[in-house]
Amino acid sequence: MNKTRIFLASIVILPSLVFLSSCIGNGNPLPLPEENSIDGVLHSAEISLLRRGTHVISKQGVDIAYIESSTVNLRSFEGQQVTLSGSYQYNTEPAKQLPVFVAVDVTESEVRTTETVLPEIDITVEIPHSWIRKSTPSMVHFHLDENEDPIVTLYRKDQPDLKVEGVSIVVDGKPAIRISDEQSDSQIVHVLVGNDDVLTLMLFIPEDQGSNSLREDWLYLLSTLVFDDKDSSLSNSVSSGSGSINGMPCGGPAGILCPDGKYCDIYDIESDIGRCVSL
């Protein structure tokens, strides 16, 4: 009965919160919601001196409010589906920023992910319960449905000639490059593990799936990834900015194309994944 009430309440609350989110920056701030609870998936927020909120909560891939609390350890609930009790307050710039929900208690939580060891590539990562895992000796694939193409593919191999352009990030303390393909709504992350050892992660978002929700799961996967072979030493650096992109992944479910002057050399026939090499 209690879960039914929570479900019905979220049906009523969600439209108003999404509407509130869509109206940010449109002038005068909207009245704050009167509800004394909020539910959704909790994530850490970027550190900022210009707004309140250490965390953000989302529903169906849409951020609906920042969260802060002096009584609840929010960090221990990151990535979980939670119901928080408390009250809404305006942020520092009410007309431009999402409101802040000041949480006083966690009334319900549900772990959406599970810690998964991937011995094929020597990493441990947290993935959603709903993802279906399929592995080959050199690759790991995750699917939303057994009969559909993978949404995430991971593989690890020596790539001594890998030079790519992208955004520099850090994964488990190791340098990485993130490449986004807006046309196919896909992402590729290369993590330099040590010497020529590179872990590659590829995200493919099907056209019939909500990109926000999958992108949240993807970012959480990256934030929880841990290398099990900590003795790998770094002697290389991944180059960002301009340069050759020999070695960039191509093909796959998203059909990622190579630029002019290069072709896709397929090395995994089952997944149709290859890498761009010069003609």
Domain end residue (candidates: 110, 136, 171): 110
Same domain, 39 and 89: yes
Same domain, 147 and 54: no
Taking only the tens place, the pLDDT of each residue in 158-169 is 887 777 788 888
Same domain, 73 and 179: no
Confidence of residue 253 (pLDDT cuts 50, 70, 90): low
Same domain, 180 and 154: yes
Domain end residue (candidates: 110, 131, 150): 110
Taking only the tens place, the pLDDT of each residue in 214-239 is 887 888 899 889 998 765 554 444 44
Domain end residue (candidates: 110, 131, 160): 110
Same domain, 253 and 122: yes
Mean pLDDT of the chain: 79
Taking only the tens place, the pLDDT of each residue in 58-69 is 887 688 999 999
pLDDT at position 6 is 39
Mean pLDDT along residues 168-193: 87
pTM metric for this prediction: 0.55
Q: What is the CATH number of the domain that holds 227?
A: 3.40.1000
Same domain, 122 and 148: yes
Taking only the tens place, the pLDDT of each residue in 86-113 is 999 999 999 889 999 999 999 888 777 8
Q: Which residues, other chains included, contact 64 with Cβ-Cβ below 8 Å and sequence gap of 6+?
A: 14, 17, 18, 20, 21, 38, 40, 57, 58, 98
Residue 189 has pLDDT above 70, yes or no: yes
Same domain, 103 and 28: yes
| Cα(98)–Cα(216) distance, integer angstroms | 18
pLDDT at position 48 is 85
Q: Which is more confident, 84 or 41?
A: 84
Same domain, 130 and 165: yes
Nearest to 111 by CA among 44, 42, 60: 42
| Cα(13)–Cα(61) distance, integer angstroms | 15
- The beta-strand segments (E) located in the chain are 37-44, 55-59, 62-68, 81-89, 100-110, 113-118, 123-128, 132-135, 139-143, 152-158, 167-171, 174-181, 186-194, 197-204, 226-227, 249-251, 262-268, 273-278
**Cβ-contact 217, 255 below 8 angstroms:** no
Q: What are phi and psi of 113, to 5 degrees?
A: -125, 165
pLDDT at position 9 is 41
Task: Report DSSP letters for 150-205, one per residue.
Answer: -SEEEEEEE-TT----SEEEEETTEEEEEEEETTTTEEEEEEEEETTEEEEEEEE-
DSSP conformation class of 91:
-
Same domain, 274 and 242: yes
pLDDT at position 25 is 52
Structural domain range at position 14: 2-110
pLDDT at position 235 is 40
Same domain, 164 and 182: yes
Mean pLDDT along residues 70-79: 88
Same domain, 75 and 118: no
Q: Which residues, other chains included, contact 128 with Cβ-Cβ below 8 Å and sequence gap of 6+?
A: 112, 113, 217
Share of the chain above pLDDT 70, in %: 77
Taking only the tens place, the pLDDT of each residue in 21-41 is 545 555 678 889 989 999 988
State how beta strands 100-110 and 81-89 pair. antiparallel
Beta bridge partners of 266: 274
Euclidean distance between the first and final Cα of the chain, in Å?
65
Confidence of residue 44 (pLDDT cuts 50, 70, 90): confident
Residue 139 has pLDDT above 50, yes or no: yes
Same domain, 70 and 162: no
Mean pLDDT along residues 165-190: 86
Beta bridge partners of 106: 84
Count of the separate structural domains present in the chain: 2
